[in-house]
Amino acid sequence: MNTKLPEAEQLKLDSRYLRGTIAEGLDDVVTGSISEDDNKLTKFHGSYMQDHRDLRDERRRQKLEPLYSFMVRLRIAGGVVTPQQWLGLDAIADDCSNGTLRITTRQTFQYHEVLKKDLRSLMQQVNALGLDTKGACGDVNRNVVTNVNPHQSSVHAEVHQISQAISDHLCWQSGAYAEIWLDETCVYQPGKSEEPFYGDRYLPRKFKIGIAIPPENDSDVLANDIALIAIIENDELVGFNVAVGGGMGMTYGETATFPRLATMAGFVPKDQIVKACETIAAIQRDFGDRSVRAHARFKYTIDDHGIEWFNEKFTEYHGEAMTAARPFELVRNGDRFGWIQGEDGQWHLTLYIYSGRVADTEALQLRTALREIAKVHTGEFRMTCNQNLIIANISPEQKPVIEQLVEQYQLDIGERVRHYV
């Protein structure tokens, strides 16, 4: 019987909990690249290597290696950062990147064109802001996304706290990150486990969790491996309907791959939802397909075994069954631009950000404008799943100050849609 593991699984098993030879590759000044195996492992660390496609032919003619650089993606559960973090992230864009920030559809930032020599500095500066890049890519739980609903300020705050708790609980634990990027002492010991949840092979594929607060659904919640739909009764968050097995990806030409909406499984009280997410991820860890990578997503596990099987496994792993799903309605998935006043009297301003690109151009000094707003803002910034930005929790007293900056820099508040190029 052939017991040889597929390449991706063997790589994780041999990686010494995601260390590989990444550190040695970073120290090699002869090349701007790292090995292909290490490139696969750095995805777990939130980064992967690219080369400048427009310069490939010219550099080949000059007998130079491709111009390699790295994309780095942050882990920011729910897409919320403070003004101080915004200013720090903005400074990193000049120091280590190409002078831009990119808001993604999973409510986080990406840096592009980061040279290998600047990777450690970027990671250290991000860490100093109280953030990291762990699990922004790779076969682990990815950035947890949530609805951004300014009308329901207290519910949004509670859901954000829950998204952060889920993200932290399912974040990988190996000492590799601190050793490689933050210059901490190596703690690796052969035979000693560093991943109490994931183990030495992590998950079969990437794993995504989304949260929606009805009636808004800008998180496209049913396209996630775990879809959590907030249930609010008497203006209080009581728990979440849980659907499982969503995912829109497919491989062209492979009929065994297909998009799938998550299937409703039941209801879980809010005080059990972090444990419930761990339980569901554990089912995928233990039963997901590790032999065929194109068939390794959780949606195929659910499709192969069925929702009744899943509910039986959930009860076995969790120790308690879900109860029946509660009524809800999702009716919108777009951002509402402009000024909105929340239930607590605070103001929220949603800005249109073309393709999520935060940059200064001749047409619009967007990055400068947001930097100036961050200098005076006392609330927070919330990134949306539509790659737009909410300047959130603006006091009535501070609103005129923000309004003046919005007018000064001619920021788009949805009254017009312009292409910033």
Q: What string of DSSP letters covers 292-344?
A: -GGG-SHHHHHHHH-HHHHHHHHHHHHSS--BPPPP----B-S---EEEE-TT
265 with 370, same domain: the answer is no
Q: What is the mean pLDDT of residues 219-245?
A: 96
Mind listing the pLDDT tens digit for each residue in 155-189? 888 999 999 999 999 999 999 999 999 999 999 99
Per DSSP (E only), the strands in 132-218 are 145-146, 209-212
Give Cα separations from 268 to 12, 242, 306 (angstroms): 33, 7, 20
Q: What is the mean pLDDT of residues 92-117?
A: 97
pLDDT of 157:
87
Whether the bond between 215 and the residue before it is cis, its omega within 30 degrees of 0, is yes
Q: What is the mean pLDDT of residues 6-33?
A: 97
pLDDT of 22:
98
177 occurs within a structural domain = no
401 occurs within a structural domain = yes
pLDDT band at 385 (very low <50, low <70, confident <90, very high): very high
56 occurs within a structural domain = yes
pLDDT band at 129 (very low <50, low <70, confident <90, very high): very high
Tell how far CA 46 is from the center of its chain: 9
55 occurs within a structural domain = yes
Residue at which a domain ends, from 301, 333, 365: 333
pLDDT band at 332 (very low <50, low <70, confident <90, very high): confident
290 with 356, same domain: the answer is no
Distance CA 328, CA 344 (A): 24
Distance CA 243, CA 261 (A): 9
Distance CA 276, CA 268 (A): 8
Which has the higher per-residue pLDDT, 318 or 216? 318
CATH number assigned to the domain comprising residue 123: 3.30.70.2500
Q: In terms of residue numbers, what domain contains 256? A: 141-171+203-333
On average, the pLDDT of the chain sits at 94
Strands 47-51 and 357-358: unpaired
419 occurs within a structural domain = no
pLDDT band at 52 (very low <50, low <70, confident <90, very high): confident
109 with 148, same domain: the answer is no
Distance CA 70, CA 420 (A): 24
pLDDT of 197:
98
351 with 213, same domain: the answer is no
pLDDT of 1:
47
Residue at which a domain ends, from 98, 119, 139: 139
Q: What is the mean pLDDT of residues 94-121?
A: 97
Share of the chain above pLDDT 70, in %: 96
420 occurs within a structural domain = no
Question: Rounded to the nearest 5°, which phi and psi values hold at 132?
Answer: -155, -175
101 occurs within a structural domain = yes
121 contact partners, CB below 8 Å, separation of at least 6? 95, 96
Mind listing the pLDDT tens digit for each residue in 271-320? 999 999 999 999 999 999 999 999 999 999 999 999 999 999 999 999 99
Give Cα separations from 71 to 39, 97, 112, 135, 399 (angstroms): 11, 9, 5, 14, 36
355 with 276, same domain: the answer is no
Per the structure, the count of domains in the chain is 3
59 with 29, same domain: the answer is yes
pLDDT of 57:
85
70 with 107, same domain: the answer is yes
pLDDT band at 417 (very low <50, low <70, confident <90, very high): very low
Tell how far CA 102 is from the center of its chain: 13
Residue at which a domain ends, from 289, 304, 333: 333
20 with 118, same domain: the answer is yes
